[in-house]
Amino acid sequence: MRGTLLFVLCSWVSISLAQHYEDLVKGERQTYYAKNETRKKRSGQAYDITYHNIKLSINPAVRQISGSVISKLTALEDNFTSFSFDLDNFMTVDSIISKGQKLVFSHQNDEVIIQTTALSKGGVIELELFYHGNPTLNVQKAFSYDFQKDGPIAWTLSQPYGAYGWWPCKQQLADKIDSLDMEITIPKGNKAAANGMLIKVDTLPNEDLIFYWKHRYPIATYLVAVAVTNYYEESHYIKLSSGDSVFHVDYLYPAYKPAADTLRWAIDGQMRLFDSLFGTYPFIKEKHGHAQFGRGGGMEHQTMSFMSDLGFDLMAHELAHQWFGDKITCGSWRDLWLNEGFATYINGLARENLISREYFTEFLSICRDRATSQPNGAVYAYDTTNVGELFSGNIRYRKGAIVLHMLRWEIGDSAFFAGMYNYAQDPDLCYDFANTPDFKYYMEQTSGKDLTNFFDIWIYNEGFPSLVTRWNRKNATQIELQLNQTTSHTSVSFFPLKIPYLLKGETKDTLIIVDHNSPNQNTTIDVGFEVQELIYDPQIWLLAKHTLIEGNHVNLQNITIYPNPTQNVLNVYVKDLKIDRVEVITLLGEQVLKQEVNELKNAITTLDVSFLSNGMYFLKVHSDEQTIIVRFNKSTF
């Protein structure tokens, strides 16, 4: 498998990862960034969905669908006499039939309210709702028509709030559909991709085709999907380490075949890796599949992700969602990071384990840079009404991913991966919904640590730290570190960190971990050899902006500054050196004073610092021979 992956890499690595995730985010969210478009819980939806059979006629060249949805519901309260489905007013309800009788209904405010004879709690009703219309009129644009190179295409993408635009449903993150069938009638020469297993294909007298898809795992409403075009089909079995196999099928554009013949095999290694990390593929009794569609990026429709292409990163991201997003679905859109942050980070794990550490490091570097490109934004989504903000690539995806990586650093690989596995196997969460405290519980169980503070500052609050590391060699074996931290957002005053530094000498090196536990911190470390170079966070574990300031590594006893703290003037003396120039620099690296000096060796240089605001500063002293950096404090006493 290793050889195949390296071959795939040649085509894949030239694509910008940053642009890839922009396309991916656009693919997973709707093009319409609506305000106040969440589907509110309906008073008539106190029922449990046990079954849907979606029977639709779809012509990818015609903006019109028609058909019916058979539903089985169980009442969750007594005196159950009316109930409702979400369905856009642009769709026309023709009739609703139950036990051969037409039911009375109304259709307004995107809600179909249906009257029935009274049911007791636990009572079951089965009905069939017939309807038709142009689903592209829905404001969420969850049903799309377009053209690929070889013909017209129609597809759905209902995340987060669009399912009601094309079929009558209960659009909530509270009740998964226990069982689903889809019967899709399409013109000859096309294929219909959908959830579950393809049971059969019938041919009608007019040569139209009916694709019968059967899905017997619980599924969230927004993950129900269908796509129709003149696909060609490729399939094979992916053998797992347990000896079991996963049936995999690709529905692809004919023109994409040359690329697919190379790229599609990378899914095998990804499937085996994720199966080993998070447990058996969640839908192993049915399939895993890809179907190309007309939007950039992809969408993790259960058992059949819709894909713009078969790039390594995109396949890894959408496959990861089958565990985190589909098997276990975020219990509210506020917890979306449990879907998107997880899938993004697991994409990185695929790079780490299947390609190389170098490409994982590139991935982490991009995630860190994009997550720190804006000063605000919590991983936990407080505003779920604006889809553009909800599906923020920098926050929900990249920051969510790098925070998971930091959690791995905080508790260690063993506890982290055990926690991920146990979370993915929780019988109360599997094929159901989860919230952030559910995940936190498993990370605390496996690590034995109270992670309340970690989750508070990194998940629920905003911003990130900016660090300045200044180091000097004190003698042949000791270095002094001066650490300073500011934060980008007022919601967090300080981020505790375990900072890794790689210390390199002429013939040896060592990695040290510094507990950064106060905004301004001095640490002296004896490493046992002369340090020539210091590298901050070499493997990129931390979400932080960082500035490294190097001194000249002379013995700091040779420089004297006084008074320190100072109010108005600062006197500088360096033994046996002539000072040429001095600078004063803020902790964020901004130069606030520069003064040329023409003194003899061992002279005292006096600086006027009365104009500076109170606080900590770096003094940078230049000579012909070297540069020395020390820290001082400006105070009004």
DSSP string covering 81-100 = EEEEEE--TTSEEEEEEETT
Output the pLDDT for position 597: 87
pLDDT category of residue 3 using cuts at 50, 70 and 90: very low
Output the pLDDT for position 43: 60
Output the pLDDT for position 628: 78
Residue 2 has pLDDT above 60, yes or no: no
Residue 38 has pLDDT above 90, yes or no: no
Other beta carbons less than 10 A from residue 198's beta carbon: 19
Residue 41 has pLDDT above 70, yes or no: no
Four-way CATH pick for 465-550: 1.10.3720.10, 2.40.128.20, 3.40.1160.10, 2.60.40.1910? 2.60.40.1910
The conformational region for residue 100 under phi > 0 = left, psi -120 to 50 = alpha, else beta, is: left
Output the pLDDT for position 384: 94
Output the pLDDT for position 629: 78
Superfamily name with CATH number, domain 47-264: tricorn interacting facor f3 domain (2.60.40.1730)
Q: Which residue has the higher pLDDT, 568 or 325?
A: 325
Beta-bridge partners for 534: 503
**Helix 357-371 × helix 400-411 angle, to 10°:** 120
Is 82 within 8 Å of 116 (Cβ atoms)?
yes
Lowest mean pLDDT among 79-88, 466-475, 613-622: 613-622
Output the pLDDT for position 4: 37
Output the pLDDT for position 272: 98
Task: Give start-end residues of each CATH 2.60.40.3080 domain in the chain.
Answer: 555-637
Task: Give start-end residues of each CATH 1.10.390.10 domain in the chain.
Answer: 2-28+314-460
pLDDT mean over 33-60 = 76
Output the pLDDT for position 457: 98
Task: Give start-end residues of each CATH 2.60.40.1910 domain in the chain.
Answer: 465-550
Output the pLDDT for position 602: 78
Q: What percent of the chain has pLDDT over 90?
A: 79
pLDDT mean over 45-64 = 97
How far is it, in rounded angstroms, from Cα 183 to Cα 168? 15
When the pLDDT of each residue in the chain is averaged and rounded to a whole number, the result is 91
Output the pLDDT for position 220: 98
Phi, psi of 418 (to 5 degrees): -65, -40
Look at the chain and count its residues: 637
Q: What percent of the chain has pLDDT over 70?
A: 91
What pTM value is reported for the model? Answer: 0.85
Range 469-481 burial, b when 16+ CB lie within 10 A, else e: bbbbbbeeebbbb
Cis amide leading into 437 (omega within 30): no
Specify which of 255-264, 531-540, 581-590 reaches the highest per-range mean pLDDT: 255-264
Helix, strand, or coil here: 191? strand
The domain made up of 2-28+314-460 has a fold known as: Neutral Protease; domain 2 (1.10.390)
**Helix 413-425 × helix 266-278 angle, to 10°:** 90
Domain 555-637: CATH architecture, name and number where available: Sandwich (2.60)
